[in-house]
Structure 1
Amino acid sequence: MPKFLAVYTGTPPGPDAGPPSAEVIARGMKAWQDWMEQHASQIVDAGGPLGATKKASKAGVTDTKNNLSGYVIVEAASHDAAARLFENHPHFSIFPGEAVEIMTCPPIPTMD
């Protein structure tokens, strides 16, 4: 079955926004756990949160920023089916997350 990398994205809150309340965090974590249990048979790698980022390039290694906040790897019959797994996901329906981006994970080409 095809695999898909889903990355959770979000823009950091502005300087006047405080962290989510304990009630929102508890409700969100419960909903996230329920989502994980509901889709357990399709989760290949439960992933987790993403933190500070470094960028390696020809110019060397530097600190950088992006809007990636977490990831999970799922299996689904199609790209559309994988994307539908994330409809109304707690990442953006409860937490202040922005979206979930779902990418195909095609096989590595062989050297035949």
Structure 2
Amino acid sequence: MPQFMLIYHGGKRPETEADIKRSMDAWGSWMGTHGPKLADPGNPVGQSWTVSASGTVDNGGANPVSGYTIVNANSIAEACEMASSNPIVADGGSVEVAEIVPIEM
């Protein structure tokens, strides 16, 4: 079955205990709904750096990554459907969906 990366951008970092509980509950519910299809439930990420031929900057680029998940899905449409219900979308963020293309060596 194909695998897809869900790459998270933006969203809000919970600040209060109530916000943390709400966020954890939303993520727990989303993961529970899609549990068997989560190849790697992923994690949030820290400050990203951008490395290019012109050097390295610590600004994360135009659209910094805030986390990731790897899912098993039959198609990119199915992976996008999974992403559409992700809690980061409700928090004002977005999800980039890309198929992982295996390389045979």
Shorter-chain TM range is 0.7 to 0.9
Give the TM-score taking structure 2 as reference length. 0.80
Question: Aligned to 1:48, which of 29, 43, 47?
Answer: 43
Q: How many residues end up aligned between the 2 structures? A: 103
Q: Gapped runs of 5+ residues in structure 1?
A: 14-18
Quote the Cα distance in structure 1 between the aligned partners of 2:92 and 2:52.
29
2:29 matches 1:34 = yes
Larger Rg: 1
| 1:12 Cα deviation from its structure 2 partner | 7.4
Root-mean-square deviation over aligned CA pairs: 2.3
Q: Quickly say closer, same or farther: Cα 1:41–1:12, change in 2 above 3 A.
A: closer
Which residue does 1:23 correspond to in 2? 18
Percent identical pairs in the alignment equals 36
Contiguous gaps of at least 5 residues in structure 2: none
Deviations 1:57-98, CA, capped at 9 Å, x for gaps: 3344432324210000001000000110122321122xx341
Match of 2:77 in 1: 80
4+ residue stretches of structure 1 with deviation over 4 A? none
Q: Cα gap change, 1:32/1:77 in structure 2, threshold over 3 Å: closer, same or farther?
A: same
The structure with more helix, counted as a fraction of residues: 2
